Amino acid sequence: SDLDLKSILDFTVALAYDAGKLIIEGSEAIQQPASVVDIKKNAVDLVTEYDVRVEELVKERLGEKYPSFQFIGEESYAAGARPEWTDEPTWCVDPIDGTTNFVHGFPMVALSIALLVKRRSVLGVIYNPFLETLYTGIKDGGSYVTRGGPEGVRRKLPFANPPQPFPSLSKAQLAVEWGFDRRIPPLAARAESFHRLVSDAANGIHKARMAHSLRSLGTSAMNFVYVAQGAFDMYWEIGPWPWDVAAGVIIAQEAGGLVTGSHEVFDASKDTITFGEVGEEILTSRKYLVIRPIGDTENET
């Protein structure tokens, strides 16, 4: 495409820093007893006044600057604005990824802004205003992290140079999430998969994997960037929405990571992981696996 991704990135980064101030302001307000927390679908899927306000700010500023681009955001979508996905440049925004953390004052919270072209991520910005850590990625332009605000120190991702190949699962630190679906069957399936990943017991056909650890940050966006950085070897979740992952996908890919949204993929009940490239299904898959680079990842056990 003929978009100048570098200049779009500069604009988006400045916007992310501004919106971050509103998130910090909101975290102070939300700790007050009078603050309003709405329940979206069930008693654990939360939305705050600040999810809506941050999205409005981002939507307005992007709309002024790039009037021809489409916009899809978590809160606009929840409110009924559901534009068709097209091949045109489309912003995909989660104003506060990790809303539950935000409500509880746990600083794993990020604003996630992606630009999609032909239904694929070409630009991603993920900003955690509590940690003052900003992650960016653009197609064929690499991924970076900047710490300490706009004048902060910028480093290329991944941190390991050269990137270290994915270790066996038994040496890996993995990100997984419990998600919002608390009905017994899906919950039990998750619990069983997590159990297999960390258990020291060889269980029938399942070899003991005993990963170093499982972590659940409560934000898909931060899980992606920590894979890109190398802090996690893998992130696996069924359930995220496009705005949870759209920016993370390009940041992880540009850091050399592999992302797939098509299953097969990773099933803890199998002894293999199969990888594919993420394509258009990123918009709708809701099943993601992202893995730290590189090398021969076929049939990893």
* Catalytic residue list: 74, 94, 96-97, 99, 244
CB of 219 to ligand IPD, least distance (A): 5
219 is a site residue for ligand IPD (CB under 6 A): yes
Per the annotation, does 177 bind a ligand? no
123-162 burial by CB neighbour count: b if 16+ within 10 A, else e? Answer: bbbbbbbbebbbbbbbbeeebbbbeeeeeeeeeebbeeee
Using CB under 6 A as the criterion, what x/- string covers residues 56-85 for binding ligand IPD?
Answer: ------------------x-----------
Question: Is the four-CA dihedral 66, 71, 75, 76 of positive or negative sign?
Answer: positive
**Degrees to nearest 5, angle at CA 150 with 222 and 122:** 50
CB of 298 to ligand IPD, least distance (A): 28
Stretch that binds ligand IPD, among 62-70, 155-163, 199-207, 232-240 (CB under 6 A): 232-240
Exactly one of 179, 198, 199, 214 binds ligand IPD (CB under 6 A); which one?
179
Exactly one of 239, 263, 294, 297 binds ligand IPD (CB under 6 A); which one?
239
Exactly one of 94, 233, 254, 300 binds ligand IPD (CB under 6 A); which one?
94
Question: Is the four-CA dihedral 80, 69, 247, 266 of positive or negative sign?
Answer: positive
CB of 100 to ligand IPD, least distance (A): 6
CB of 242 to ligand IPD, least distance (A): 10
20 is a site residue for ligand IPD (CB under 6 A): no
288 is a site residue for ligand IPD (CB under 6 A): no
E strand or H helix at 93: strand 90-97
Tokens of 168: 């066996």
Helices and strands (DSSP H and E) totals, the chain: 7, 14
Per the annotation, does 74 bind a ligand? yes
Per the annotation, does 97 bind a ligand? yes
DSSP state, residue 118: T
- Whole-number Cα distances in Å, 65 to 77, 116, 287: 21, 16, 33
Contacting residues toward ligand IPD, per CB under 6 A: 74, 94, 97-99, 177, 179, 218-220, 237, 239-241, 244
